Amino acid sequence: MKPKFQHVALIGKYQTLGASSAATSSRHAISTVAHFLNDLGCDVVIEQDTARNMALGSYPTLSVAQIGAQCDLAVVVGGDGTMLGIGRQMAAHGVPLIGVNQGRLGFITDIPYDGFASILAPMLHGEYVEDHRSLMNARVMRDGHCVFQAMAMNDVVVNRGATAGMVELRVEVDGHFVSNQRADGLIIATPTGSTAYSLSAGGPLLHPSIPGWVMAPIAPHTLSNRPIVLANTAEIAIEIVAGRDASASFDMQSLASLLHGDRIEVSRSAHHVRFLHPKGWSYFDTLREKLHWNEGVTAP
């Protein structure tokens, strides 16, 4: 029986890995998954940067934009960082993503590489759970002009400088003044990003189905300044009031040296990322495994 997804793209790490043992392992994993997909009857293409960086010339190559326009499915082999990057780019095209984990945590690349074939085969024939993840649009405004803009799947973070003291930030939600906050920084996180930096800063976990953002201060000067959950329809503005060398990051995309008066504006994107998980997948299974819940406790 032919697979449900016929034209499948394979995507790995983007950076040049050289001749390290990690590069050899990644190259072998991509090649193994490609052969598996081909044997299953899929028309396999390799993302062009993946093919070039890993010297994989046995399959046709496409750019990310071409994959978005032509492919039914993208399989990402790597870690969550790799998935974040490709997820932002695929969202506008609506191409679903499956993650095969070769990283450490694997919150969104949840199929372990060891034994991937027994899990991936039924998914390619239509046995899967679909999971939609929200995205944020963010832009940096300076003197009324946009100087940087990006999408984020995890979070938007405003940080103090490396050697400076705290920053002072004026926060507005839907045009309403919230507070002036003195802290090491401020995180605006999606439900996907609630298991990342926001969690380290004391923010709550948000189930992916909740239409909300987490706003979490980083080491606030006022201890009553606590994380808050906002509707993801809210438009959030963060203005740099005081502090030197502040910077902003949008997932792994950064803008350094923000100026006093710069405004970081965050709103909901019209696009979302489509993840496919194995049949029977549960978000709580992922949390239990990745956060090591129940260790030392007898499972029911």
Helices H / strands E in the chain, number of each:
7, 18
Among 81, 105, 66, which residue's Cα sits nearest to residue 13? 81
56 within 8 A of 46, measured Cβ to Cβ: yes
Kind and range of the H or E run holding 39:
helix 21-40
| CA distances in angstroms from 17 to 14, 27, 53, 106, 263, listed in the order given | 9, 9, 7, 20, 37
The residues, any chain, with a CB within 8 Å of residue 118's CB and separated by 6 or more, are: none
What 8-state DSSP symbol labels residue 15?
S
Asked about 80 being catalytic, the answer comes back as yes
The residues, any chain, with a CB within 8 Å of residue 73's CB and separated by 6 or more, are: 5, 7, 8, 9, 95, 96, 97, 98, 124, 276
Q: Which of 43, 49, 72, 80 is catalytic?
A: 80
Query: Could you give the residue numbers annotated as active site?
Result: 80
